[in-house]
Amino acid sequence: MNKMYDIIVSRRTVRQFRPESVPRLVLERIVEAGRLAPSAANLQPLEFILADEDAVRREVFPCLKWAAYIAPAGNPAPGREPTAYVIVLANTQVREKGFEYDVGAAMENMILAGLTEGVASCWLLSVDRDRLREIFTVPVTHKIDSVLALGYPAEEPKVEELKDSCRYWKEADGTFHVPKRKLKDLIHYGKF
């Protein structure tokens, strides 16, 4: 078995976390993986804010929207919030447009690096950027792209075959179910 392949196919978004902190050294390794991701023309416009202190985390949490299909049931329960966040910034003085590709590569690297350390994540795009800009005094030269919520998982979402809808759901026991398309429905050999 290929360990990296197994990590990739087992990856699921987690929205319920255990209340134990992720060591800063582990968090720095996760951000390092993001820093070393591919970058278009090697311009490297991304910068990262690591927020792992309790007071700051309490300020960040209300700026995030979770699991829109089932809100508010998809929100982390009290005591099950993430224990760290990485706020991903794009320095628009380096690259004004097209940095989203860099963000995608950096996010996936950070997500997978976290998994190798037992750290789960949730990539959030629905965020209050104005409030985050205030909290972290982000200069106008930097665009807040997204936030990666991190922590040790307190749930195990399940993959389901996509049938009628891509909408995920949550059972009464708290289990998340995530529908995914079948490989045979989206792979084309040699031509469409």
Whole-number percent of the chain with pLDDT over 90 = 81
- State the pLDDT confidence band at 1, using cuts at 50, 70 and 90: low
Taking CA 38 as the corner, what is the angle to CA 33 and CA 44, rounded to the nearest 5 degrees?
Answer: 90
In this structure, are residues 7 and 115 in contact, taking their beta carbons and an 8 Å threshold? yes
* Max CA separation in the chain (angstroms): 54
3-state secondary structure of 107: helix
Find the domain containing 122 and state its range. 3-155
On whether residue 181 sits in a domain, the answer given is no
Give the chain's domain count.
1
> In this structure, what CATH number is given to the domain that contains residue 150?
3.40.109.10
In Å, how far are 42, 81, 122, 124, 168 from 61, measured between CA atoms? 32, 8, 13, 11, 22
Residue 88 has pLDDT above 80, yes or no: yes
Residue 101 lies in a domain: yes
Domain-embedded: residue 190: no
pLDDT at 108 exceeding the cut of 90: yes
Residue 127 forms part of a structural domain: yes
Segment holding 133, helix H or strand E: helix 129-136
Least confident of 10-19, 41-50, 67-76, 129-138: 67-76
| Residues 133-168: tens digit of each pLDDT | 999 999 999 999 999 999 999 999 888 888 888 888
Q: How far is residue 143's CA from residue 134's CA, in Å, rounded to a whole number?
A: 13
- Please tell me which of 2-16, 96-110, 157-171 the model is most confident about, judged by mean pLDDT: 96-110
Name the percent of the chain lying above pLDDT 70.
99
Range of lowest pLDDT (1-5, 12-16, 152-156, 167-171): 1-5
Position 36 in a domain: yes
